[in-house]
Amino acid sequence: MISGDTNELKVTFEFTKPNSSGESASSELAPTIINSVEATSLDSAINLMNTYVSKEINLSHCKAIVISESLAASGISKLLYSLMNKVQIRPDTNIIISKCFAKDFIQNTQPNLENLVAKYYEIAPVSSEYTGYTVNATIGDFFNQFSCQTCQPTATLRCY
């Protein structure tokens, strides 16, 4: 998500094409759809996306939320509360702050060892358990640290 040109937010969605995971060979990357909309809120962006996507967007399978560094620097408390009020967003969803625009980050992420993009976003941050090079920053932990007056919220900072 980034600050949009005409509205408050520019939200980019990435999802695997329906029924594509079974059609392709197991070694091929499943094809994805990447679309962006500009809206005044996250809920408005989801409603706009639902108007021209053949399926209803359900965020219960969301594995990562990517926020541009410029949006994070301008303040994300309203967005964060909106995300946490959504029952569909799981507290173990990873939160990533991108030095580039979120859309550029999503388009340039090429999982080499996973054929499903969702699996990549689910597994990549957990590599902290055996490498120590990353942190497993979830939205639940981020929100708890954000709400605490003596804590500093941490998220994964990445760029492609």
Task: Give the residue extent of every domain in the chain.
Answer: 9-23+30-158
pLDDT (0 to 100) of residue 141: 92
Alpha helices for 39-96 (secondary structure H): 42-52, 69-74, 77-84
Spatial contact of 74 and 101, defined as CB atoms under 8 Å apart: no
Four-residue CA torsion sign, 52, 53, 54, 55: negative
Low-confidence ranges of the chain (pLDDT < 70): 1-7, 18-29, 113, 124-129, 132, 160
pLDDT (0 to 100) of residue 140: 92
Per residue in 54-100, pLDDT (tens digit) is 778 888 888 889 999 989 998 888 889 989 988 889 998 889 899 98
**Long-range contacts of residues 104-112, Cβ cutoff 8 Å, at least 24 apart:** 104/160, 105/66, 105/158, 105/159, 105/160, 106/12, 106/14, 106/34, 106/66, 107/34, 108/160, 109/160, 110/29, 111/29
The pTM assigned to this predicted structure is 0.80
Task: Count the neighbouring beta carbons within 10 Å of the beta carbon of residue 71.
Answer: 21
Question: How close are the terminal C-alpha atoms of the chain, in Å?
Answer: 15
pLDDT (0 to 100) of residue 38: 92
pLDDT (0 to 100) of residue 2: 55
pLDDT (0 to 100) of residue 58: 85
pLDDT (0 to 100) of residue 14: 87
